[in-house]
Amino acid sequence: MSVLFFHAMKYKVQDPRNASNDRFVLSKGHAAPILYSVWAEAGFLQETDLLNLRKIDSVLEGHPVPRQAFTDVATGSLGQGLGAACGMAYAGKFFDRASYRVYCLLGDGELSEGSVWEAMAFAGFYKLDNLVAIFDVNRLGQSDPAPLQHHVEIYQKRCEAFGWHAIIVDGHSVEELCKAFGQAKHQPTAIIAKTFKGKGISGVEDKESWHGKPLPKNMAEQVILEIDEKIQNKKKLSPALPEEDAPVVNIRNIKMPSPPSYKVGEKWATRKAYGVALAKLGHANDRVIALDGDTKNSTFSELFKKDHPSRYIECYIAEQNMVSIAVGCAARDRTVAFASTFATFFTRAFDQIRMAAISESNINLCGSHCGVSIGEDGPSQMGLEDLSMFRAVPNATVFYPSDAVATEKAVEIAANTKGICFIRTSRPENPVIYNNNEDFHIGQAKVVLKSKDDQVTVIGAGVTLHEALAAAEQLRKEKIFIRVIDPFTIKPLDKKTILENARATKGRIITVEDHYHEGGIGEAVCAAVVGEPGITVNRLAVSHVPRSGKSAELLKMFGIDKDAIVQAVKVAVSKSRNAE
């Protein structure tokens, strides 16, 4: 850390987030005290601040978080720092075209995480020669030695196989480290540092069971004296200043260059409307970027790639890394990142999404192919847990557009919204129901069908909104009228509109969704109306693991098609009549 911060890195100490500074990611986030110590030595923190480590009124938390001006991404869930560093390096090389470099320190324990090797493959493939990963191979994990212990030559071979220039060094040798950091190649560099935990401390060096433990007070005092005696030069060190060549970037208030251009009644899949909207947004701001995991011809992010090839990042089938790359690209507000894949494949990246929220990242994720309505591909491809997952993410916004116009508006709004945004898109083609000048807002539902005689409020989204409208048409012939609501955002949910319309329809709500019962629209509505007198909610949703079949067959099988809605409405109305 000393060599890195006071020899290799170039940065402005009092402006840690300067766009031209070299970046540093502490992937082994539990080593946070050394990061804080470095910034105190550099002069950004006061040494007295270090004594408040992990206290509730201190910014110096147990693991790095962006509340600290010198921390770009939160770490501590191991194996994720390198992916974010890859995103920063990619942005630096291909978008900023600036001279800043990115350094990432990893522990050998986290090298068992597959996400590390997804990032290694990404960096090797894209030849991120502005990226340096440092492996701290100290042999010891938390409860046991790491699997390769001190076999540094195996780490070297692995790194080389992934397209990295790999150097083995004595991690305690200032000279070897200075030399290693000075080696520039046309590929990413991995510095494999053989170290000993507790180096120089008798009874602690290279011993197990010291992970995360402070030394006893009397022992600590003796060790501090011994270390102090070894310091030959107490001259204050200062880092070199960066070359200020990162461009000024403005990603505020991005507006579509023109309104949507759809015709009411035309059939469009919202997944395709997403691709059209994203490509259009790319013309509005050259900092809008798209990422995908080899599904661009299904999510339609290929339309963005066609218009803006230099701003499209193919992440291949590595969804965990794709999310981390997006977080890295979006750090320091360098880009507006949209990453897409099938909604169900984001479930494998949930930890990365969770950490992105802790990182206060502003990434936008689009999950296509949601629900049983995708049809024949079967349950492994069906997003049925995604609403539940994204609703649980702090400060997330969950969009569920029901037609092409709403999808285009969701993309535009997401680009300008803080926090994690998730846009849920569908495979089937459904009619456009909104005019191009329709206004959409987060947390504002649309009442798409209404009359003074409505007896039940039906809430649907995506394909089930269209099933609800078809059910309304059928019921109207029998003189039964229903109110139909499109929530637009599932989080936040428009509680006010839902309650107003429920009360106007005798307190009766039916929710219908192409998602499992748990954590979806039905539960969101129940949470919104809990404690409200006279309100009943009947939830129609996918009840168990589905199977292959035609879209219409599966909607029918799981009781979320127009016939199921008709039946549920009739039951609700007859119950009321019987009660009267």
Residues in the chain: 580
**C-alpha to C-alpha distance for 491 and 391, rounded to whole angstroms:** 6
Contact partners, residue 558, CB within 8 Å, separation at least 6: 372, 541, 542, 543, 546
> What residues pair up with 509 in beta bridges, in sequence order?
457, 537
Q: Find the catalytic residue in 110, 176, 319, 408.
A: 319
The CB density around residue 467, as the number of other CB atoms within 10 Å, is: 26
Please give the pLDDT value at position 576.
67
Q: Residue 234 pLDDT more than 90?
A: no
> What residues pair up with 145 in beta bridges, in sequence order?
140
Q: State the number of CA atoms in the 13 A half-sphere of 496 facing the CB.
A: 3
Weakest-pLDDT range from 200-214, 354-368, 550-564: 200-214
Please give the pLDDT value at position 575.
79
Q: Residue 580 pLDDT more than 70?
A: no
Residue type, 407: T
The token pair at 11 is 């940065």
* Cβ contact 400:515 at 8 Å: no
The token pair at 397 is 């916004």
**C-alpha to C-alpha distance for 309 and 239, rounded to whole angstroms:** 37
The 8-class DSSP code of residue 332 comes to: G
Alpha carbon 513 to chain centroid, angstroms:
24
497-537 pLDDT, tens per residue?
Answer: 999 999 999 999 999 999 999 999 999 999 999 999 999 99
Q: Residue 10 pLDDT more than 70?
A: yes
Q: Once rounded to an integer, what is the mean pLDDT over residues 347-363?
A: 98
* Cβ contact 329:247 at 8 Å: no
Band (pLDDT 50/70/90 cuts) for residue 231 is confident
Helix (H) or strand (E) holding 513: strand 508-516
The token pair at 420 is 């994690």
531-571 pLDDT, tens per residue?
Answer: 999 999 999 999 999 999 999 999 999 999 999 999 999 99
**C-alpha to C-alpha distance for 556 and 541, rounded to whole angstroms:** 11
364-392 pLDDT, tens per residue?
Answer: 999 999 999 999 999 999 999 999 999 99
| CA nearest neighbour of 359 among 135, 83, 117, 107 | 83
The token pair at 237 is 């060190």
156-172 pLDDT, tens per residue?
Answer: 999 999 999 999 999 99
**C-alpha to C-alpha distance for 299 and 336, rounded to whole angstroms:** 18
Angle between helices 463-476 and 562-579 (to 10 degrees): 50
Q: Once rounded to an integer, what is the mean pLDDT over residues 6-13?
A: 98
Q: Once rounded to an integer, what is the mean pLDDT over residues 210-238?
A: 89
104-121 pLDDT, tens per residue?
Answer: 999 999 999 999 999 999
Contact partners, residue 412, CB within 8 Å, separation at least 6: 254, 255, 256, 277, 281
Please give the pLDDT value at position 507.
97
* Cβ contact 402:465 at 8 Å: yes
* Cβ contact 556:541 at 8 Å: no
Active site residue 319: yes
**C-alpha to C-alpha distance for 559 and 26, rounded to whole angstroms:** 49
Alpha-helical runs (H) found in 184-244: 217-230
**C-alpha to C-alpha distance for 128 and 313, rounded to whole angstroms:** 13
Please give the pLDDT value at position 432.
98
* Average pLDDT for the chain: 97
The token pair at 312 is 């499209």
Contact partners, residue 500, CB within 8 Å, separation at least 6: none
Percentage of the chain beyond pLDDT 90 is 95
259-270 pLDDT, tens per residue?
Answer: 999 999 999 999
Residue type, 391: R
By DSSP bridging, strand 429-431 and strand 267-269 are: antiparallel
**C-alpha to C-alpha distance for 387 and 577, rounded to whole angstroms:** 35
Please give the pLDDT value at position 45.
98
The CB density around residue 176, as the number of other CB atoms within 10 Å, is: 18
The token pair at 205 is 């060096």
What's the pTM? 0.97
Q: Residue 81 pLDDT more than 90?
A: yes
The 8-class DSSP code of residue 92 comes to: I
Contact partners, residue 11, CB within 8 Å, separation at least 6: 18, 21, 22, 239, 241, 242
Alpha carbon 139 to chain centroid, angstroms:
32
Please give the pLDDT value at position 579.
65
Map tokens 């309505």 to a residue. 373
Contact partners, residue 541, CB within 8 Å, separation at least 6: 511, 512, 513, 515, 516, 517, 520, 521, 522, 558, 560
Please give the pLDDT value at position 232.
85
Q: What is the CA radius of gyration of the chain?
A: 27
Percentage of the chain beyond pLDDT 70 is 99
Is 504 exposed, middle or buried (CB count within 10 Å of its CB: 0-12, 13-18, 19+)?
middle
